[in-house]
Structure 1
Amino acid sequence: MRRRPPFRSSARPRRRAAQAVLAVAALAFTTVPAAQAAPPPAAPGAHCARQAQLRVPGAEHQRSACLDELTTAGTVASGHTDPADWAGLTPKDLAVPSGAPGIQIDGYFPDTSATNTNHGWQHDAQFVIRLPDRWNGGLVVAGTPGNREQYANDRAIADWVLARGYAYAATDKGNTGLAFHRDGKAPGDAIAEWNDRVTQLTRAARAVVAQRYHRPPARTLATGMSNGGYLVRWQLENHPELYDGGVDWEGTLWRGDGPNLLDFLPKAMRAYPVYAAGGPGAEEARRELHAAGFPAGSEFLWPYHHKVYWDLTQRVYREELDPGFDGPTEAGTPYCLPGTPACDADYDYAARPAEVRQAVRKIALTGRIGKPLITLHGTLDALLPIGRDSDVYARMVREAGRGALHRYYRVEGGTHTDSLVDVFPDGGLRPLAPCHRTAFTALEGWLAGGHRPPASRTVARPVGQDAVTLANACPLDPPMAAGTPS
């Protein structure tokens, strides 16, 4: 298997309007030198108390700012978030909470890669830590979905938890963008770094919380969507001592012997063009897509996912875990037809050499969680099909003897990206953001004792609700829909 090429830094086209926002942000930050005379500490409850004393353990660089608003109700205007990071992840009708003044710390840990260009730093392992003045005693830690940067969860997760009084920390996972696979020396290294960076940030953020509030967090919770959900699973399996629990929002499943996305995405790439062309082979191609895991009823989502997700996702993750498949070509040939040499549409994970499965095992999940975990996943997910992902992970947790620590909610009508609810208003979709919030609240009650969450179930899509209500409400214990797993 070929060695990775030297990492190449390339400034990706940056975000139009967000460029101006970030330029202003660079001026708005207060730089905290390593050796600065500390003023007398302010009272713990005062606005931005102890800002000058805060140091992120292990950080190579940090900047802090005292903000009147830590949610996106204020950070968009002040330049302390990047809307391009979270574009497309939430429904348009999701409410924007406010009323969380406090301290924001941005910075980075030592790293050798440079895909993240936020703040002009050209440096990976960037993080953001937010410390509200009115603290509830808890800390929420998140890794980003996809290959996005550290502000990607600001609308979907950070806004809500900050408004509830949690301190919040997020990492870019140590590499970003479509060329993330260039990081690391061996296959699997770039994804393995994601796990290490979440662990690193959790330890550092717990220390910063103790500096700011004179006591460590009473509760540390991990949460995230997609790749961020994978990180929650991995952390609770491998570092349960750092957390009290977690909420996994449609986490990516990696298993050495499958299923994983390198199993089912090539099947979709082969079958979809035949299905879309119509004719005598179309019905058989539909059955092949269903057999690959893409659920019946999700057909209206297939053209979008074929155009946007399936091909690209397969190629970049296959390059990370099996770079030898296409020889010196980097990340394959886009939209090649079956039969084209080294075409990802013909990729057969089961037939690849043993070292490929070994690379996947480097990042694989086991189901052996050590703290309470709530998983939610949409039944119409057309990127990570529920039957090849969270259904399997829930079974893994039970088989590992950890079922008492797990709740699993299959959300009827949910899909992988909440913005598709707005793109397909007549498709019977519902956003998962409010379901995540309900699950998070259920986890709080579970950890407090005496309020066990509802049993694992399929959460039926309400009939007749308007878009605003659907975007902001999702009870987990209505009557069960058909198909609830036992």
Structure 2
Amino acid sequence: MRFLSGRIVALSAALALVAATPAVAATETPVHLEGRLPSGAAWVMDVPADWNGTVLLFSHGYREAGSPNPAQNAPTEEAGAAALEQGYALIGSSYATTGWAVEQAVPDQLSTLDEFTERFGPARRTIAWGQSYGGLVTTTIAERQPGRIDGSVAMCGLVHGGVANWNSTLDAAYAARTLLAPDAQVPLAGFPDQEAATRAAETMAGAVNTAQATPQGRARIALAAALHNIPGHNDPSQPEPGEHDWAGQQRNQYQALSRFFRTAMNWRQEAESRAGGNMSWNTGVDYARMLSRSPYATEVEALYQDAGLSLSGDLEQLANGPRISADPGAVDYMTRNVAFTGRLDKPQLDLHTTGDGLVPVQVTRAHRDAVEQAGSSRLLRQSYVDRAGHCTFTTGEQMAALHAVEQRIDTGAWGDTGPAAMNARAEAADPGHDHAFADHQPSPYPRPFDLARFAR
């Protein structure tokens, strides 16, 4: 991505400048560089004239297989421009492939950091930051390559790890198939190709759309959504329902669930092709207990009562349905690449919106629990933005998270990371916008297993 186009110099001139003068002189004018790693990944770097010595290593989100794959070094153009204005250098790669590129992303990002160091010398400090799938990449770097960075920020990230992610996705898909399409014989895993995954996704989306027309179907959609913790307000374009507006909350969950199966099936198939099989399971899962831990249990109970439907009967169906076992080799692949122990050596801040329907906010609770079990709590902070949507942060909120981590790096203490202090940081960085840091305590992560034991 190109930021501050008026300040960009031509690539040839920039290379000549770097070759001819010491590293510090390369920042006397803004520098924009692009290149390619031996892996095939593209990289991009922007260094402002007044570089402050900190480099921000950005990890981008998921890109579907076959989609365009440009290098990216900031979450948005606005955030990139703000960071450059404050003197940060921005770098990032495309990763060598699209899709669930768990093996390629981390080495490509670290190689991009090497490319930067070769051109500009060692940074005074390096902060890794990333959003969505890139939050998973960032957290992997933080856990497994802590010597390469000084701190990290995972924004709307899959901080529960890859094993947990695919298990949680399986839960909602299993409930929807069992209750809404019991005779369709739709596979939930083990897809041979994208064509099979697409057929399954279209069948399930059709079943959800049909179910929405009846009170019984709407109640069952709410149950499937609750097992994935899809919130009742998950898109900024939706009207925000009242606290007890069960029908309004369910409509919003339905919209998210109707789009869910592309992730649950097409994205899964691509990940399975890398892992060599199915990397998730629901053997031994107690769905009644899982529902009881969901913040949407009361909504589900009310909708079932209004529909004259037996919730216990449907939970019994889930309990007795055919379960899915994982392929051990595929679990091992995912574990080796992106399962988290919670062990941190450098400070990390997790930033999440409360109304995220794609990566529900409970993933941060999973990360916090793992970090506590690993004895690394002093290095983790988590901040929440009271807003619907996935990665719907203001520029100021993103900069506030970076500045909080910087303070921890510089002083050895977090200082105040409460909502008022974070909103003040956001306003200072990005005046005049509706910043919305708020107190929030996510409910327990629904999956009943310890993340750390899969990554030892």
For this structure pair, what is the TM-score category when the shorter chain's length is used for normalisation? 0.5 to 0.7
Distance 1:414 1:220 in 2: 31
Matched, 1:311 2:261: yes
2:138 matched to which residue of 1?
232
Superposed CA offset, 1:234-270 (max 9, x none): 1110111111101110111324366645434525764
1:377 matched to which residue of 2?
352
Three-state SS of the structure 1 residue aligned to 2:127 is strand
- Decide whether the 8 Å contact of 2:18 with 2:119 is kept in 1: no
The answer to which of 401-410 and 268-277 deviates more is: 268-277
Three-state SS of the structure 1 residue aligned to 2:95 is coil
Distance 1:455 1:449 in 2: 14
Displacement of 1:194: 0.9
1:159 matched to which residue of 2?
81
Judging changes above 3 Å, is the alpha-carbon distance between structure 1 residues 158 and 297 closer, same or farther for their aligned structure 2 residues?
closer
1:438 matched to which residue of 2?
400
Distance 2:214 2:421 in 1: 34
Q: 1:143 aligns with which of 32, 44, 59?
A: 59
Matched letter for residue 358 of structure 1: D
Q: 1:403 aligns with which of 362, 366, 377?
A: 377
Judging changes above 3 Å, is the alpha-carbon distance between structure 1 residues 481 and 246 closer, same or farther for their aligned structure 2 residues?
closer
1:249 matched to which residue of 2?
155
Superposed CA offset, 1:320-346 (max 9, x none): 3324779xxxxxxxxxxxxxxxxxxxx
Distance 1:397 1:349 in 2: 30
Q: 1:208 aligns with which of 110, 115, 119?
A: 119
- Decide whether the 8 Å contact of 1:131 with 1:209 is kept in 2: no
Q: How many residues align?
A: 341
Displacement of 1:415: 2.2
Distance 2:120 2:86 in 1: 16
- Decide whether the 8 Å contact of 1:268 with 1:292 is kept in 2: no
Matched, 1:41 2:21: yes
Judging changes above 3 Å, is the alpha-carbon distance between structure 1 residues 301 and 453 closer, same or farther for their aligned structure 2 residues?
farther
Distance 1:43 1:417 in 2: 35
Matched, 1:30 2:4: no
Judging changes above 3 Å, is the alpha-carbon distance between structure 1 residues 456 and 206 closer, same or farther for their aligned structure 2 residues?
farther
- Decide whether the 8 Å contact of 1:174 with 1:193 is kept in 2: yes
Three-state SS of the structure 1 residue aligned to 2:355 is coil
Q: 1:196 aligns with which of 90, 97, 107?
A: 107
Q: 1:448 aligns with which of 410, 419, 422?
A: 410
Three-state SS of the structure 1 residue aligned to 2:154 is strand
Q: 2:96 aligns with which of 161, 169, 174?
A: 174
Superposed CA offset, 1:371-391 (max 9, x none): 00000111111001112x221
The structure whose RCO (Cα within 8 Å, separation 6+) is larger is: 2
Displacement of 1:481: 5.2
Judging changes above 3 Å, is the alpha-carbon distance between structure 1 residues 168 and 286 closer, same or farther for their aligned structure 2 residues?
same
Distance 1:292 1:40 in 2: 56
Distance 1:204 1:349 in 2: 47
Displacement of 1:129: 1.0
Displacement of 1:367: 1.4
Displacement of 1:144: 0.9
Matched letter for residue 291 of structure 1: L
Three-state SS of the structure 2 residue aligned to 1:362 is helix
1:290 matched to which residue of 2?
226
- Decide whether the 8 Å contact of 1:410 with 1:459 is kept in 2: no
TM-score (norm 1): 0.60
Judging changes above 3 Å, is the alpha-carbon distance between structure 1 residues 238 and 168 closer, same or farther for their aligned structure 2 residues?
same
Three-state SS of the structure 2 residue aligned to 1:379 is strand
Unmatched runs of 5 consecutive residues or more in structure 1 = 1-17, 50-100, 112-123, 182-189, 211-215, 327-346, 419-430
1:276 matched to which residue of 2?
212
2:366 matched to which residue of 1?
392
2:41 matched to which residue of 1?
125
Distance 2:71 2:163 in 1: 28
Distance 2:23 2:323 in 1: 58
Superposed CA offset, 1:130-162 (max 9, x none): 111111111110111122532363425422221
Q: 2:325 aligns with which of 340, 343, 351?
A: 351
Distance 2:37 2:168 in 1: 30
Three-state SS of the structure 1 residue aligned to 2:216 is coil
- Decide whether the 8 Å contact of 2:133 with 2:157 is kept in 1: yes
Superposed CA offset, 1:386-435 (max 9, x none): 12x221111111111111000012322242142xxxxxxxxxxxx35432
Q: Normalized per residue, which structure has more helix?
A: 2
Distance 1:360 1:229 in 2: 16
Judging changes above 3 Å, is the alpha-carbon distance between structure 1 residues 365 and 349 closer, same or farther for their aligned structure 2 residues?
farther
Displacement of 1:127: 0.3
- Decide whether the 8 Å contact of 2:394 with 2:435 is kept in 1: no
- Decide whether the 8 Å contact of 1:412 with 1:459 is kept in 2: no
TM-score (norm 2): 0.64
Three-state SS of the structure 1 residue aligned to 2:212 is helix
Three-state SS of the structure 1 residue aligned to 2:403 is helix
RMSD, aligned α-carbons: 4.0
Distance 2:369 2:420 in 1: 15
- Decide whether the 8 Å contact of 2:230 with 2:256 is kept in 1: no
